[in-house]
Structure 1
Amino acid sequence: MAYPGGGQQLEMGHGPYPSMGPGGTVSPQVQQWFRAVDKDQSGFITAIELKAALVNGQGQNFSDTACNLMIGMFDKDRSGHINLEEFDKLYTYINQWLAVFKTYDTDQSGHIDQPELSQALGQMGFRFSPEFISFLTKRNDPREGKISVDNFIVLCVQLQRFTEAFRARDTQQNGTVTLGFEEFLNIALSCSV
């Protein structure tokens, strides 16, 4: 059965998705970055501090959605902030996503347009119609259909989460699921961020 994603494993660390990686010693470079991002010197980084430190290819700070998503992925104790060790994993994760983004930003414009997104998702194993690819690009940028690196990360993580939720419910492995409205809302709200 070919799921969205072409049957590939879309879990973090497998296939095209960056890995959150195991823990270990934190390099001096990451420690330096941590201190620079931790503006209030609290020993923790919040989504607000992360947003102030990250700039996408268009010279804008990463979106609130992207920063909240990334902090949430690495905030293991659900404190609303990350410590140095969690930041080390996030730092690696962001750099891996930047490498993925640069691979598909073939014209090096600092954003991914509709043909580049189609190629990226196709190579990740998704077989979406041109209309759906257009919807995804217009959803991110209604005027020009350009996707910045932060929005690309959010989009890919959301596609991964929805794919995993779909697979878990496709018990017959026939590519269809039946959901009640409340279950649909639960999936949609929990996968969105």
Structure 2
Amino acid sequence: MDRSGAISAVELERALVNGDWTPFDLDTVKLLMSMFDVDRSGTIGFNEFCGLWKYIKDWQNVFRHFDRDRSGTIDRNELREALRQFGFNLSPPLIELVQAKYDIKASNVAGAYGPTPGITFDRFVRACVVIKQLSGAFQGLDTDNDGWVQINYDQFMQTVLSLP
């Protein structure tokens, strides 16, 4: 937008909107930037943007598939089903935690006409990516694949803070 030939996080945030015309959450934009800014310049160029755009379009299809009631948001049951189909069998308390963390109404972020209950598209993408990254980090530590790890505080902090 500044005619530099590259897009910053702020410019990307201005360019992306949800189905209800609310802007993408800045944390989601930053996550996408960290994934597609392959040269770590702080901006994404044309080729990086093409990859990002395809990624967003693919996620839109996933979102539409799981938004069974066509509300434009993902409710608790839709979230549980989506995560289950992605291979993440989270316990009911974890589903509740994810819902509370990413639900736009629960986090007091209002759209143009007030908050819409449920997880918006951008937050759904972020929730799924974060769950995938956390699960991958856990699996890397679960050397005997028994669903348990034993790590010290420093290892825990390094694992969590190394994720985008």
Q: TM-score higher than 0.5 here?
A: yes
Q: Matched residues in 1 for 2:54 and 2:131: separation?
A: 21
Question: 1:62 matched to which residue of 2?
Answer: 24
Contact 1:54 1:61 in 2 (8 A): yes
Q: Deviations over 1:17-50 (max 9, x none)?
A: xxxxxxxxxxxxxxxxxxxxxx111100111111
| Aligned residue-pair number | 154
**2:143 paired with 1:168:** no
Contact 1:137 1:145 in 2 (8 A): no
Question: 2:69 matched to which residue of 1?
Answer: 107
Q: Match for 1:56: what amino acid?
A: N
Q: Matched residues in 1 for 2:158 and 2:6: separation?
A: 31
Question: 1:85 matched to which residue of 2?
Answer: 47
Q: Deviations over 1:97-126 (max 9, x none)?
A: 111111101111111010110111111111
Match of 2:43, SS state, is coil
Q: Following TM superposition, by how much is the alpha carbon of 1:71 offset from its aligned partner in structure 2, in angstroms? A: 1.2
Q: Matched residues in 1 for 2:60 and 2:88: separation?
A: 20
CA RMSD between the two structures = 1.4
**Percent identity of the aligned residues?**
40
Work out which of the residue numbers 144, 150, 153 in structure 2 matches 1:178. Answer: 150
Q: Matched residues in 2 for 1:145 and 1:167: separation?
A: 33
> Structure 2: which 5+ runs fail to align?
108-115
Work out which of the residue numbers 28, 32, 35 in structure 2 matches 1:73. Answer: 35
Q: Match for 1:87: what amino acid?
A: F
Q: Following TM superposition, by how much is the alpha carbon of 1:172 offset from its aligned partner in structure 2, in angstroms? A: 1.3
Question: 2:15 matched to which residue of 1?
Answer: 53
Contact 1:114 1:145 in 2 (8 A): no
Contact 1:114 1:133 in 2 (8 A): yes
Structure 1-normalised TM-score? Answer: 0.76
Instruction: Extract structure 1 runs of 4+ deviating beyond 3 A.
Output: none
Contact 1:138 1:145 in 2 (8 A): no
Question: 2:123 matched to which residue of 1?
Answer: 151
**2:134 paired with 1:134:** no
Q: 1:147 to 1:120 in 2, by over 3 A?
A: same
Q: Following TM superposition, by how much is the alpha carbon of 1:145 offset from its aligned partner in structure 2, in angstroms? A: 5.6
- The structure whose RCO (Cα within 8 Å, separation 6+) is larger is 1
Question: 1:116 matched to which residue of 2?
Answer: 78
Q: Match for 1:48: what amino acid?
A: V
Q: Matched residues in 1 for 2:70 and 2:19: separation?
A: 9
Q: Matched residues in 2 for 1:57 and 1:131: separation?
A: 29
Structure 2-normalised TM-score? Answer: 0.89
Q: Following TM superposition, by how much is the alpha carbon of 1:57 offset from its aligned partner in structure 2, in angstroms? A: 2.6
Contact 2:74 2:119 in 1 (8 A): yes
Contact 1:56 1:62 in 2 (8 A): yes
Question: 1:43 matched to which residue of 2?
Answer: 5
